[in-house]
Structure 1
């Protein structure tokens, strides 16, 4: 019988990586086609402007984020969501301590835990 459900990944603040000052990351669960990532940002964090080929769905669990893209700048807060299409340059900054869930498709090899 093939595996139909991935193992449960518990939320662990202590196990989060720190890819840059003010940002913590936990890769939750993923397949080759989909990845769920939890990010915690400290108030005042400004992320690097970047792009990636993955589509990204963003859900704000708590806090307030300013988001910039070629389409403009907007604010999002707790309960809000939006999608960033692949290869679109964007940047986020935290106006408050914030927690975000990001879903990427396909999964991000650069985020995947190293075996």
Structure 2
């Protein structure tokens, strides 16, 4: 039996100012996460052991990886390897889908 997870803004958490998160479908090996960023949001530089696939649904984000800045717009995607320091920001309201492998237990 499949478990359908509907996008629901009311179920989003606010892990930091300007960022909202909803964990969507997940298994132990992989997790789909929806993030909504307010205009002006700047995330902290960080790394994690998980590989991260980013798909921009709307808006535009800047992603800094190893000192290089990449601009991602709606429809763009990128894969960030595990253990690589990266930082994202959104000059405009944006929404992305992230796939993490393995799943991020701290998000559950």
TM-score range, shorter chain: over 0.9
TM-score, normalising length: structure 1? 0.91
The alignment's C-alpha RMSD in Å is: 0.9
1:97 & 1:78 partners in 2: Cα distance?
11
1:105 & 1:6 partners in 2: Cα distance?
20
Is the aligned partner of 1:34 residue 2:30? yes
Structure 2 unaligned regions, length at least 5: none
Normalized per residue, which structure has more strand?
A: 2
How many equivalent pairs are there? 108
2:67 & 2:44 partners in 1: Cα distance?
17
Larger radius of gyration: 1
Structure 1 unaligned regions, length at least 5: none
TM-score, normalising length: structure 2? 0.97
- Return structure 1 stretches of 4+ with deviation > 4 angstroms: none
